[in-house]
Each structure stands twice: as C-alpha cells, then as structure tokens.
Amino acid sequence: MLTVFGSIAYDTIRTPTKIVKNALGGAATYAAISASFFVKPGLIGVVGKDFPKSYQNILERFVDTRGVVHAKGKTFRYDGSYDSTLSLRTTNKTELNVLKDFKPVVPEEYRKSEFVYLANNDPTQNTRIIKEFDNVKFSMCDTIEFWISSKKDDVIKMMGSVDSVVINDEEAKLLTKTHNLIKAAKKIMEWGTKYVIIKKGEHGSLLFYDDVIFSSPAFSMEDIVDPTGAGDSFAGGMIGYLSSKNSTKMATIREAAVYGNIMGSFAVEKYGVYGITGLKKPDIKKRFDRYKKMVHF
C-alpha cells in the first residue's frame, strides 16, 4: 500500500491571464490523486470546517480518505502568483491554519504501507509520522521554500529519515547554498537519504544515486496553463508507479521518474487539480509511449 501525507489546501492561483480563488489544492492532494492512477493511496491530512463536500467528494473519487481529519478552524491556504513566463512563482501568502498544530495519526489500516510519501508539509510532523509505519520499503519527501526558511534544521532531519528526497532545483540550491545541482544532490545525500530527485520544471528531472545520474527530460508541452502542483503530481506519479510494481530496483526507479515527468505534464494543462482529475489510464499510456519515442536515438 501507498500512504501520502501532507497539505490539503485552498489555493489561490494567479497567472497573467486568470485568477482562481479557493481552488482545491495542497501537495498531498496533487500527489495522492496522481498516484491513484497506479494504486489506491491512503491519504493523511487535515482540513477545516470550511472544506466543502464537493472537494471531499473529489478526494473520495481517487483515494482512501480514512486518514483525512476534519478539524475545527480553517483549511490551510496558499496564494501564489506566476510571472508572464509561468516558470517563476511568488508566494503571496501561506496560512497554516489547521495544519499548524496538527497531530497526525496513521490509521491502523495504513500502518503496513510499504511505500510512504511525505509531501510538502511541516517537516517536524513528517519526521514524526514516518516512524509510525511498521514496514516501510521506500519513503520519499519533498519540501518548499517556506519550510526551508522557517525550519531548515528540521527539513535536514526529515531528509535524513527517508530513502529519497524529491525537490525542485531552486529549493535544492536554497537549501544547500550551492548553485550546482550535482553538489546540491551530494550534500542532500550526506544528510542520510539514498536517492535525490531534482525537478527542473519544464526541463525535466535529475535522479541521483551513489555516483549515478539519470536525466529525464520533461514531456515537451506547447500550452501550459497552470504549473501549480506539477511537482507534487510528479512525485505522486513516481511513487505510485513504484508502489504498483512493489519494487525499488534501480531500473524501476528510473521508469518511475519518467512516469513522474508524464504526470507533471498533465497537471500543467488545466487550472488546479483538473489536469489530473480528468485523466484516464490510457491517456497516461499514450503519453508514455510518445515520450519513449521522443527520447529514443
């Protein structure tokens, strides 16, 4: 089984052409929905009393929601603006709300999960929750500038408690204080994780393991609408695929990174989660086959 833990959010997304307010978002939301095309993940997270039934219904369509807690207070809120190239995002506001004092509990049914993804979230909560699983074969975490700036030591500790770290290039540079991605990955590995996957947005990803580097391009897209959640969809696709194969072999991890790129490419095609919620499994297979042709030489 795969469990995904992290933020479930109300997002405000500002692109040069449109502003979408109170969209269903959150790192765990994107990751779990993306993973659901490979396995049925269990989701752990917290929402407030303002979380609408319609959003709960979307989650229920894709994932096991027994780990989603409805707490008193407001749902976590994120507000971000993109520049005209859609590749640079500025965070306008992060309101932790119910996420702030959340004490996550792993439902009994999820405890035996062999695959665990700690999506973007308070690193202290992430480090605590990973210890609650009995039988983890492969764990992975992500982080974001907000946590690097506010809880850097905890982010480093979290990274040392998982098998793999997936992080975007700018955040990897910020965290390790280096501009070179190889140096950044090596530094993150020194903290205790075995694999580092650096996401480079429209430029794909780099997977590091020992002294191996596996580079996979992004699926080239002509029309990008909203990049929000692309990184989370990448991670969800990657760990969802690994979980479906119940394997942590290097060859499977490489394939999983390709599925990550494919899922990220769907996420950017529509605002909010709708780039991935509208998908059918054959769409993924078709894009995977086109990707294979694209990189073949």
Q: Which is nearer to ligand AMP, 55 or 114 (CB)?
A: 55
Among 33, 144, 159, 268, binds ligand AMP (CB under 6 A): 144
CB burial readout 154-189, b (16+ within 10 A) else e: bbbbbbebbbbbbbbbebbbbbbeeeebeebbebbb
Please report, as a single letter, which amino acid is at residue 270: K
Two tokens, residue 32: 């779990």
* 7 touching ligand AMP, by CB under 6 A: yes
* 34 touching ligand AMP, by CB under 6 A: no
Rounded to whole angstroms, the Cα distance separating 153 from 130 reads 17
Among 1, 2, 4, 9, binds ligand AMP (CB under 6 A): 9
Residue 224 phi/psi, 5° resolution?
A: -110, 130
Q: Which is nearer to ligand AMP, 115 or 147 (CB)?
A: 147
CB burial readout 275-291, b (16+ within 10 A) else e: bbbebeeeebeebeeeb
Please, what is the minimum distance in Å from the beta carbon of residue 119 to ligand AMP? 7
Indicate the SS3 state at residue 280: coil
* 139 touching ligand AMP, by CB under 6 A: no
Site string for ligand AMP, 75-104 (x = CB under 6 A): ---x---------------x----------
* 32 touching ligand AMP, by CB under 6 A: no
* 26 touching ligand AMP, by CB under 6 A: yes
* 166 touching ligand AMP, by CB under 6 A: no
Q: For residues 223-262, which are near ligand AMP according to CB under 6 A? A: 228-232
User: Which value, in Å, is the radius of gyration of the alpha carbons in the chain?
Assistant: 17
Tell me which stretch binds ligand AMP (CB under 6 A): 21-29, 38-46, 154-162, 237-245. 21-29
- CA distances, 77 to each of 6, 80, 118, 279 (Å): 13, 10, 19, 26
**Positions in the binding site for ligand AMP (CB under 6 A):** 7, 9, 11, 25-27, 78, 94, 120-121, 144, 146-147, 228-232
